[in-house]
Amino acid sequence: MTESSTQPQIIDGATAAWLAGIRGYILDMDGVLYRGNTLIPEVKAFLCALDSAGIPYTMATNNSTNSQLDYVMKLERLGVSVPEESIFTSAVATATYLRSTYPDGTRVYVVGMKALRHAIFEDGYFFPAEADADVVVSGADFELVYGSLRTACLAIRAGADYVATNADTTFPSEAGLIPGSGAIVAALVAATDVEPTIVGKPSPVMVESCLTAMGIEASQAVMLGDRLDTDILAGQRANARTVMVLTGVHTPADVRKTGIEPDLVIDTLESLTRFHTHQASSE
């Protein structure tokens, strides 16, 4: 398939030929696999079809509020079993970025949840700090208090570097869209006039890590997500194929607004399930 589309697709001949070249999937999680604590109905059949077709998949999420093990346990509760090493979070990606950028003993202040703090401080390479930090890191924080923003603001204004796990302004939940990491970024940028280094999607870092884990080339992989400005753009920056599913944040109207065009747009995962089920039965 060579042309992008802004409408939900059926599996016609051209689309089928394009899908036949897929050797692996990188799946966003929130809005693609589940919303809040509710599994999206088509997910189990889709993953089963991939398993039957022998197509590997990894999961890449900008959410820094949970650890890899947290996600394994959450998916288990929802009836889906995946190995811990198949899950890539922005907390892990941020910790990896920091270790590759700053020396042992760097002082770090974190605005975020336990999983992000654990990823950064677990091995003792970095030292927890407050307004005297060398680096401020922010992620989604569902227990955010003003004092955290105040400390981060003072550290950044005193010269600390600013790194953010991701810039997603919203977060899909069962109740609807709620403030995400990008809302905290917006508050700190407004208070400091300092733009952060963004580690998560749309940076291609997590996509490239997933490709390495699956042992495939970018041209053989699909980045499948619900957000144009993170999932789809990250896939494009990594030179992967891109599919947007309309079970999360963005709609076909947003494609026209943003100018970010996925290779394929689908209503749900059901059409991909049909294709890969047929693919498995034909082999």
Angle between helices 90-101 and 114-121 (to 10 degrees): 30
Phi and psi at residue 246, to the nearest 5°: -95, 40
Catalytic, 132? Answer: no
Question: CB of 36 within 8 A of CB of 69?
Answer: no
**Residue 272 is inside which H or E element, if any?**
helix 270-282
- Nearest Cα to 260, choosing from 242, 239, 238, 240? 242
For 77-103, the DSSP string reads HTT----GGGEEEHHHHHHHHHHHHS-
The answer to whether 123 is a known catalytic residue is no
Q: Which of 30, 226, 231, 263 is catalytic?
A: 30
Label residue 184 left, alpha or beta by phi (over 0 means left) and psi (-120 to 50 means alpha): alpha
User: What is the secondary structure of 92-153 as a DSSP string?
Assistant: HHHHHHHHHHS-TT-EEEEES-HHHHHHHHTTSSSEE-STT-SEEEE---TT--HHHHHHHH
12, 28, 161, 254: the catalytic one is 28
Report in angstroms the alpha-carbon separations of 106 from 150, 181, 196.
Answer: 21, 23, 17
Give CA–CA dist 86/51, Å, rounded: 14
Catalytic machinery residues? 28, 30
